[in-house]
Amino acid sequence: MQKYFFLTRVNVKFPGNTYTLFYTPKGVLPYSKDRRILYNPSYLCFMHLAETSLTKRDIRKLKPDELKKFFVEHGDKPFRAIQVDEWLWKKSAKSFDQMTNLSVATRELLKEHFAINHVHVDKMQRSTDGTIKNAVILHDGLIVESVLIPAEKRITACVSSQVGCSLACKFCATAKLKRQRNLSADEIYDQVVAIKEQAELFFNRPLTNIVFMGMGEPLLNYANVTAAIEKVTSPKGLGMAMKRITVSTVGVAKMIIKMADDGVKFNLAVSLHAALDKTRSSIMPINDSNPLSELADALRYWYHKTKRKVTYEYVVWKGINDSEEHALALLKFCKVIPSKVNLIEYNPIGDEEFQQADDKVLNMYMDLLEKNGITTRIRKSRGKDIDAACGQLANKN
């Protein structure tokens, strides 16, 4: 029988580099020759040895021309940069030793000058429903969480865009963590890579979808989120389809307008949760600066430019938005532009104020929306037992 264990991470420091080893209750994991993935069939664990450094320059921050220049200056051919680029992005190399088509001397030269500050999974937890939550450690020691959600026909990566969050939505566990910084494009990309590898290793299936619904507000880190998406969809990166990617926002109106102007091709979801200003402001402070009228205008602009629907994420809580008045307000808002609705099951975060509404209330919402032609789905949350479900990510592992 296969067993899953939480892994203990041990950092081993050598000059300039930190190597990370993982231990199971039966000793250190065996590792493959190229040190990329350590895998023992009797213990479903995976890991890599990451070469990270705070002092050396991260090679992935170099532009292609800078890398070419580096090789030329060191007496090598410019095309070496293309080989390295392929290792860094398409093959997601985490150490220079993996770059086996480079000579040992070239690998040593790279090690001398650069680091690969790839994130790595510090701890992995697996839910009884198959969901995997990763605590991902960044090169500066900060931690974010990302989640692999398996379903019959898809495997979805839910990734974070910021360390913590500044927007203070009252129902959200992440809001309890102060925002510390934005994730870089590489760090976002690396979360996707880690989940892609887990999908292949544990499910023997490819990663199919990506949602930006982890920690942080993606539109407050727009440049890095879009740069990461560009890499994920590039044939030089993971080559995933744009239509498989969804960015979810609490509704930063001016950024929705910018996305429309930029002609982005990924999907847009809005965490709405209330279509009456008074209620929405009471649970989501962003609504004070971005009231529903401004959000509606931004969405009209989005649809005018992109001709693409929006998905509203909506949780119904007892005593907060469980009245018919709220359901009617949602219906009215759904008519602003073509849209669909996900009614999401709520996962308590230890706050008595927020309790999932009864099924009959959900059915009232569902009937009203469906009768009026709005496609509506009730989404059961996944990974509740490991605090990996929507709104639960708070580095509690």
Residue 187 annotated to the active site: no
Check binding of 163 to ligand SF4 (CB under 6 A). Answer: no
Site for ligand SF4 in 250-279 (CB under 6 A): 250, 271
Check binding of 386 to ligand SF4 (CB under 6 A). Answer: no
Residue 158 annotated to the active site: no
Name the one residue in this structure whose structure tokens are 């993971």. 238
Going residue by residue from 221 to 250, which x/- string records binding to ligand SF4, judged by CB under 6 A? -----------------------------x
> Whose Cβ is closer to ligand SF4: residue 174's or residue 233's?
174
Check binding of 158 to ligand SF4 (CB under 6 A). Answer: no
Check binding of 167 to ligand SF4 (CB under 6 A). Answer: yes
Quick one: which segment of 85-93, 169-177, 262-270, 357-365 binds ligand SF4 (CB under 6 A)? 169-177
Site for ligand SF4 in 206-225 (CB under 6 A): 215-217
> Whose Cβ is closer to ligand SF4: residue 172's or residue 298's?
172
* Catalytic residue, candidates 145, 187, 197, 313: 145
Q: Environment class of residue 212 by beta-carbon count within 10 Å: exposed (0-12), middle (13-18) or buried (19+)? A: buried
CB of 363 to ligand SF4, least distance (A): 25
CB of 226 to ligand SF4, least distance (A): 18
> Whose Cβ is closer to ligand SF4: residue 165's or residue 316's?
165
Positive or negative, the CA dihedral 210, 216, 219, 220 is negative
Total site size for ligand SF4, rule CB under 6 A: 12
Quick one: which segment of 21-29, 172-180, 221-229, 345-353 binds ligand SF4 (CB under 6 A)? 172-180
Check binding of 172 to ligand SF4 (CB under 6 A). Answer: yes
Check binding of 159 to ligand SF4 (CB under 6 A). Answer: no
Which of 161, 135, 133 lies closest to 147, judged by CA? Answer: 133
CB of 14 to ligand SF4, least distance (A): 37
CB of 284 to ligand SF4, least distance (A): 7
Check binding of 175 to ligand SF4 (CB under 6 A). Answer: yes
Check binding of 348 to ligand SF4 (CB under 6 A). Answer: no
> Whose Cβ is closer to ligand SF4: residue 81's or residue 165's?
165
Quick one: which segment of 64-72, 168-176, 188-196, 336-344 binds ligand SF4 (CB under 6 A)? 168-176
Q: Which residues are catalytic?
A: 145, 390
Chain residues binding ligand SF4 by CB under 6 A are 165, 167-169, 172, 174-175, 215-217, 250, 271
